[in-house]
Structure 1
C-alpha cells in the first residue's frame, strides 16, 4: 500500500506542518489496486469538514500567533437578525470599520470568523484577528449590535501549540456533535453557521513525497521540536493517518509574525519598483 507525506512550509520555515497517510487507491504489495469507493453524502460532508478545519488550522499557524486576539461579537435580543443573510451584512459592515482603522495605522487586517445561530435562537460571531496594539478598542467601537468579548489566544481555553482546538472551534457547524464525559453524543447546539476568512491569506502548496512503507514515529528535525502529533484512522478511508507540527527551537511565534510583516513590506516595495 502506497504511503504519502505532505509537507507544508509555513512562516518562512519556522513552522513545518506534516501529514502522512495511506493512499487508498492502491493495494498492499502483490495485490491488485483497490476498487475506488463511491463516497456517500455523509462521507463527503466528513471530508469537507476535515479539509475546512485543516486549512483553518494552517492559516492560524501561517498568519497568527498566540498573542493575537480571539473575540466574540454578541447580539442583544432586540438586535438579533432574522436570518443568516442579515447577519452576514452586520458582519461585513463591522469588519469594514475594523479594516479602515487598521489601514489608518498602516496595518493589514487578517481575520477568520464563524457566525453561529444557536438552537435557542441566539446569534454570535466568533472572530480571530491579528493584534496591532489597540485591537480590542477597535473591535468594540466597530460593533453596535451587542457586546464584545475578547482575549489573547494563549489565554483562551482553546490554546494549544498547533492550533487544533481553536481551528475545530472556529469551524464547527450544525453537524458538529460534542461528546459528553460519559462518551455519549450531546445534543446539537448550533442551528446554522457560516465560516469564512479574509481573502489575503493564501496557503502554500505542499511538497509531496511517496514513501516505501509506513514511517516509524517521527523524530524532530535538527533545530526543531514536535509541538504535537496526532495519529488515528481516517473515518472515510478506514486507513491510518498521522500529522504533526514542527516549530523551530528558540523562535517565538510573535517574533516570527513581526518578521513576516517586514518580509511582506520588503516584497511589496520590490514589486512597486518593477
Structure 2
C-alpha cells in the first residue's frame, strides 16, 4: 500500500507531496513484513528528518527568498556560560526586535538555532521576515557581538527553491556530520544546540490518500511546475519514499491600456 500526503502552503500556491510505502504492508507481490524495532541510530535519523520537515514547512508557509537569514555571534568576553544564559540573551534581543516590528505595524516571524561549537564558540542562526530595515533592527538588538544578515536567496550555502538546505542547516545538532569530498563523514562540529520557532506559525494537517501502486514518474499538475524532487530509502522500513514540491506558475501581468485625453 502506498500513501500520499499533500501539504498546501500559501493558499495553494505551493504544494508538497510525500509518497511512501506503508510499513504495515509488503512490497508489491511480497508478503506483509514483520515489524522490526528500529535501532537508536535509526530513530535519531527519523527524528532529525521530522524536525527538518516541520522547519521546511514553516519556511514554505511563512517565508520567502527575499527574507532575512543571519547570525548573531558572541565576542569572546561575552560568551555565555551555558545554554540557559544563551537562551536568555536571545530572548532579550528578540523582544527588542519584536517591539521594533510592532512600531512599524508588522508581525514578526522567526526561526532560530543556538549553537555551541566543540571548541567553545557560541552563535545564533536566525531566519526572520524582511520588512525593509530588518538587518539594521537585528544589528541594533544584539549587544553581545557581531551581526551577519543577508537575503536568503543571496546565501548559496543554504539556498535552494524548496528550502530543504535551509531547513537542514537550521536544525543541525550535535549529531550532524558533514560529508567530505571522499564520501566519509567529518566529526560533529557542535557540542549542543537549541532549536525553536515563534509561536505564531501554525501549520495545517496534510490531506492523506491511499494509492494502489507506486508510480515511477511524477508529473506536475496543470498550472504548476515541479520545483524539486527528493527520493530515498526509509532507514526504518527499508522502502522507497519520494517528496516533491510544486509551485504555481507566476500569474501573467495584466496589460494596462493607457487612455489618452483628447
Give the corresponding residue for 1:173: 173
Give the corresponding residue for 2:196: 196
Helix, strand or coil at the partner of 1:13: coil
Give the corresponding residue for 1:266: none
Helix, strand or coil at the partner of 1:73: strand
CA apart distance, 1:39: 2.2
Give the gaps of 5 or more residues in structure 1. 253-274
Give the corresponding residue for 2:54: 55
Give the corresponding residue for 2:150: 151
Give the gaps of 5 or more residues in structure 2. 253-262
| Separation in 1, partners of 2:154, 2:237 | 36
Alignment map for 1:79-228 (pairs within 5 Å):
79-157=78-156, 158-228=158-228
CA apart distance, 1:43: 2.0
RMSD of equivalent CA atoms = 1.3
| Separation in 2, partners of 1:128, 1:236 | 32
Helix, strand or coil at the partner of 1:12: coil
CA apart distance, 1:32: 4.4
| Separation in 2, partners of 1:55, 1:29 | 30
**Equivalent residues of 1:46, 1:236 under 8 A apart:** no
| Separation in 2, partners of 1:186, 1:105 | 45
Aligned length in residues: 251
Q: What is the TM-score when the length of structure 1 is the normalising length?
A: 0.89
Give the corresponding residue for 2:44: 45
Give the corresponding residue for 1:260: none
Give the greater-gyration-radius structure (CA): 2
Q: Which runs of 4+ in 1 moved over 4 A?
A: 29-32
**Equivalent residues of 1:72, 1:149 under 8 A apart:** yes
Change (3 A) 1:34 1:226: same
| Separation in 1, partners of 2:27, 2:88 | 52
Q: What is the TM-score when the length of structure 2 is the normalising length?
A: 0.93
Helix, strand or coil at the partner of 1:47: helix
Helix, strand or coil at the partner of 1:16: strand
